[in-house]
Amino acid sequence: MRFNYVIRALSLILKDFGLVVFIPVLVAVYYQEFSMILPFAGAGFFSLFLSLILHRGFKLSDVEDSLNDIKRPEALMVVLISWIMISVIAAMPYMFSGMSFINSLFESVSGITTTGATILDNYDIGKTLLFWRSFTQWIGGMGIIVLFVAILPQFAVAGRQMFFAEAPGPTEDKITPRIKHTASVLWIIYAGFTLLCILLLWFAGMPLFDSVCNAFSTLAAGGFSPNPNSIAGYNSQIITWIIIIFMFIAGTSFVLLSKVLAKRKLSLMWKNEEFRFYTIAILAISLGIAVILFVQQGYSAYHSITAALYQTITLATSTGSASEDYRLWVFDAKILLFIAMFLSSCAGSAGGGVKITRIIIIFKYLKNELYKILHPKAVLSIKIDGKVIPTDVIRQTLFFVMCYIAIWAVSSMFLAIIEQDVSLALVSSISALGDIGPDIGYKIGPMGSFSSLHWISKAILIFEMLIGRLEIIPFIVMFHKDFWNFKK
């Protein structure tokens, strides 16, 4: 690993993120919250200062023109450090506002990773900070590195390593031959759907500021809302259904959406095996919950369908917003909600979790292994959409799932010991690792705050949110000695 290449890439990313942090200053000026100008200006200048220090202090002129030669280990290191540093910088405005460091970092990481878990007990913090919460989710939704790959000319070629280091999914599907163009197309589609969501929410009667914040969080599959009661606080069925539609879009592969839009063939959606699994699984779980709510909870048919579909999609896509308090639901419905937390979204989407493609690969692998017990000499392959999945991808998928379950189990154990609550530990851990956000238990719930947890518990959840958003791999490879083999 060449240290200079890592530092150069970090300096570029911090420079541009520093400029991004100045955007809330405009919000502060518009709403005359002048006391918030200094926190964001200070965080922005701090990021720019770090960029300058890295660039000047390490004499990086010799790698200016050869950055595109960056290797996969270097890209993984850049992504890992970038997310940590950006999370700390994004926490600074919260600290300026009086929050403790651990609470500020929790809220910042929850935003950047689009988890949506919050430590806020009081939402009377001003519009600038409320905007920042949702804006950080929107930036993190499509990926911070993907954004900079799209806008930084220095990453014209190196962007490929950076792109897949940030989102190491089971496949490396591209839209265009050049990864920079791919990143640009993804962000254009992402921004386009966000603008459409803003307009529809506004036309449906939601205040413009709330429309912007909720659209940012919804397309990012994040869930932060300026309303303390989340989407339920707007008491509008039209708004609820708009959010349902855009949450579903957020959990769909943006690569697939780009192909559908480019070829203008909606049929391509259903031909995609991952999308079919995603859609059918959501509908099946929603139907089961709707029947339970109708029969056992006494809801009307319409209320049952709306509530079931909303809460299934919000947990499956890792959005985490809420149309009502499902802590009041019967136990059977909450069991299905817990299953929905493991369902996940499509690869290449804004959502978190294991990803549907990996689930399909695991199911097909288990099916093949079962068949080989009866027919030991059979030679079987795993196909998705007619394409054979390489053996190394299958192996990496198995490794990922094993690590995912192991991290969940170990984190849950420590949380249970600290909080003396097994159910809280299990649900909070998978909620953080899957970047889902809410807790389905009685202590926190869909609209509650994590502020009452011990600071060590918050630190564990922060760790899970980060590794869950980066899909574990950048963290796991750090444990191999070859990763730390630095070169000039």
Q: Which of 327, 343, 359 is the last residue of a domain?
A: 343
Parent domain of 439? 391-484
State the average pLDDT for the chain. Answer: 84
Q: Is residue 462 part of a domain?
A: yes
Q: Is the pLDDT of residue 162 over 90?
A: no
User: Sorting pLDDT into bands at 50, 70 and 90, what band is 69?
Assistant: low
- In which band, very low, low, confident or very high, does the pLDDT at 67 lie, cut at 50, 70 and 90? low
CB 329 within 8 A of CB 293: yes
459: its two tokens:
């630190």
The predicted pLDDT at position 151 comes to: 47
Q: 452 lies in a domain? A: yes
pLDDT at 176 over 50: no
Considering only CA atoms, which of 477, 351, 465 is closest in space to residue 91? 465
Closest C-alpha among 220, 177, 216 to residue 349: 220
Confidence of residue 186 (pLDDT cuts 50, 70, 90): confident
pTM: 0.88
231 in a structural domain: no
C-alpha dist (Å) from residue 435 to 2, 113, 117, 221, 320: 32, 7, 9, 9, 9
Residue 184 has pLDDT above 70, yes or no: yes
Q: How confident is the model at residue 488 (pLDDT cuts 50, 70, 90)?
A: low
Residue 447 lies in a domain: yes
Q: Are residues 401 and 461 in the same domain?
A: yes
Structure tokens, 46: 């701090």
The predicted-structure confidence for 192-232, as pLDDT tens digits, reads as follows: 999 999 999 999 999 999 999 999 999 998 889 999 888 98
Q: So what's the pLDDT on residue 159? A: 47
472 and 411 in a common domain: yes
> Last residue of a domain, which of 343, 372, 403?
343
How many Å apart are CA 79 and CA 9, to the nearest integer?
9
pLDDT band at 177 (very low <50, low <70, confident <90, very high): very low
Banded pLDDT at 13 (limits 50, 70, 90)? confident
The answer to whether residue 13 is domain-embedded is no
Question: Where a domain ends, among 286, 312, 343?
Answer: 343
Residues 107, 38: contact at Cβ < 8 Å?
no
Q: Give me the residue label for tokens 């079931």.
A: 308
Q: For the CA atoms of 153, 17, 223, 216, what is the dihedral angle to 10 degrees? A: -60
8 A C-beta contact, residue 189 and residue 100:
no
- Cβ(223)–Cβ(247) under 8 Å? no
In terms of Cβ atoms closer than 10 Å to its own Cβ (0-12, 13-18, 19+), residue 107 is buried
What percent of the chain shows pLDDT beyond 90? 39
- Between CA 9 and CA 155 the distance in angstroms is 9
Q: Which of 99, 133, 131 is nearest to 116 (CA)?
A: 133
Q: Which residues contact 190 (CB under 8 A, 6 or more apart)?
A: 141, 142, 219, 254, 350
- The pLDDT value given to residue 134: 94
Residues whose CB falls within 8 Å of the CB of residue 28, separated by 6 or more in sequence, listed in order? 34, 36, 37, 40, 128
Closest CA to 211 of 201, 225, 221, 223: 201
Distance, in Å, from the CA atom of 14 to the CA atom of 148, rounded to the nearest integer, reads: 10
Find out whether 220 and 251 touch, Cβ atoms under 8 Å.
no
> What is the rounded distance in angstroms from the CA atom of residue 340 to the CA atom of residue 311?
9
**CB contact at 8 A, 150 and 184:** yes
Of 26-30, 60-64, 82-86, 330-334, highest mean pLDDT: 26-30
Q: Name, in order, each residue with C-beta under 8 angstroms of 208's C-beta and a sequence gap of 6 or more.
A: 198, 202
Q: Cα dihedral sign for 471, 477, 478, 479?
A: positive
**Confidence band (pLDDT; 50, 70, 90) for 87?**
very high
Helix, strand counts (H, E) of the chain: 21, 2
Structural domain contains residue 418? yes
The helix/strand/coil state of 487 is: strand
Between 162 and 339, the more confident residue is 339
Q: What confidence score (pLDDT) does residue 175 get?
A: 45
> Under a CB-based contact definition with an 8 Å cutoff, are residues 432 and 320 in contact?
no
* Nearby residues of 229 by Cβ (< 8 Å), 6 or more positions away: 322, 447
Q: Pick 158 or 122 by higher pLDDT.
A: 122
Q: How far is 214 from 242, CA to CA, in rounded Å?
A: 11
Residue carrying structure tokens 């692998």: 365
Q: Are residues 339 and 402 in the same domain?
A: no
pLDDT in tens, 327-343: 888 989 989 988 888 88
pLDDT band for 95, please (50, 70, 90 cuts).
Answer: very high
CA quadruple 272, 274, 276, 279: dihedral, nearest 10: -140
DSSP secondary structure letters along 93-158: HHHHTT--HHHHHHHHHHHHTT------S---S-HHHHHHHHHHHHHHHH-HHHHHHHH-GGGTTT
- Separation CA 193–CA 208 (nearest Å): 16
Buried b (16+ CB within 10 A) or exposed e, 359-395: bbbbebbeeeeeeeeeeeeeeeebebeeeebeeebbe
The residues with which 384 forms a beta bridge, in sequence order, are 387
Checking if the pLDDT of 158 tops 60, the result is no
Same-domain status, 404 and 463? yes
Rg (CA), the chain: 22
* Residue 256: inside a domain: no
In terms of residues, how long is the chain? 488
Same domain, 338 and 396: no
Q: Which two tokens stand for residue 463?
A: 């760790």
Identify the pLDDT of residue 157: 45
Report DSSP state, residue 96. Answer: H
Instruction: Please state, in angstroms and rounded to a whole number, the distance separating the CA atoms of residues 360 and 357.
Output: 5
C-alpha triplet 137, 142, 144: angle, nearest 5°:
75
- The tally of domains found in the chain comes to 2
Distance between CA atoms of 339 and 380, rounded to whole angstroms? 30
Distances (CA, A) of 92 to 24, 131, 353, 363, 433: 13, 15, 28, 44, 24
